Amino acid sequence: MFFMMKSGAKGNKMAVALAMRVGLSIVLFLSVLLAWKLGYLHPTGIGAGQ
């Protein structure tokens, strides 16, 4: 984070890109969670030892 802030304008672009990446990851996670709650996705039930 220190080097992103140190580089000036280029660092601002990096911070915006990082924020967009984190935001898209959160949206994807919430979309998967919503699809599971609505019944579009089902767990497979495969055990850990199989």
Looking up tokens 């996670």, which residue turns up? 29
Predicted local confidence at residue 16, as pLDDT: 87
What SS3 state is found at 34? helix
Predicted local confidence at residue 25, as pLDDT: 97
- Two tokens, residue 14: 């990096």
Q: What is the pLDDT of residues 13-45, one digit of tens each?
A: 888 889 999 999 999 999 999 999 999 988 887
* Nearest-10 Cα torsion for 7, 8, 10, 12: 120
Query: The whole model's pTM is what?
Result: 0.65
Distances (CA, A) of 22 to 8, 12, 16, 28, 39: 21, 15, 10, 10, 26
Predicted local confidence at residue 30, as pLDDT: 98
